[in-house]
């Protein structure tokens, strides 16, 4: 039996980046602990100073299938290319029989949507019958859409 995995992402604004990735992945911000109606209520009850409330955030798959993604504040901005990145598979989402052109059009449509959310396109790749677009999230972390 495999172990569960959490993906951790360093960032300067965990709340903002968590909201971006929740939209990209169709995830949701993780619910606060039982007994609390919001994260601010929980943090206040734990006597966490308000200026520390944006030290971390997490998103989860509402169906419980995908990994938890944890965003943690770091003081420095990203300076070099990611060694690990996420591949977002929108081309086949729900239609494994889609033609290459249909997959390409779905990918392009998703890129347009993500650009409106603050991502930016870096470059496109089309080889061996595959099509993908490398993008950067609002904090310049690379990811691929295919």
Distances in whole angstroms, Cα of residue 73 to Cα of each of 14, 15, 76, 118, 138: 6, 9, 9, 19, 14
In this prediction the pTM is 0.88
Both tokens assigned to 37: 């109606």
17-30 tens-digit pLDDT: 999 999 999 999 99
- CATH top-level class of 6-73: alpha beta
pLDDT at 37 over 70: yes
104-125 tens-digit pLDDT: 899 999 999 999 999 999 999 9
Give the domain ranges of the chain.
Answer: 6-73, 86-145
64-99 tens-digit pLDDT: 999 999 999 999 888 888 888 999 998 766 666 778
């Amino acid at each position: 039996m495999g172990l569960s995995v959490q993906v951790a992402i360093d960032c300067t604004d965990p709340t903002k980046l968590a909201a971006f990735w929740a939209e990209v992945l169709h995830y949701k911000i993780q619910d606060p602990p039982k007994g609390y109606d919001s994260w601010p209520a929980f943090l206040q009850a734990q006597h966490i100073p308000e200026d520390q409330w944006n030290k971390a955030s997490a998103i989860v798959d509402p169906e419980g299938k995908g990994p938890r993604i944890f965003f943690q504040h770091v003081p420095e901005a990203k300076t070099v290319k990611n060694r690990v990145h996420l591949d977002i598979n929108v081309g086949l989402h729900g239609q494994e029989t889609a033609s290459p052109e249909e997959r390409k059009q779905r990918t392009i449509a998703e890129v347009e949507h993500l650009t409106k959310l603050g991502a930016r396109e870096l470059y496109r790749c089309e080889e061996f019958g595959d099509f993908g677009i490398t993008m950067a999230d609002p904090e310049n972390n690379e990811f691929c859409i295919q």
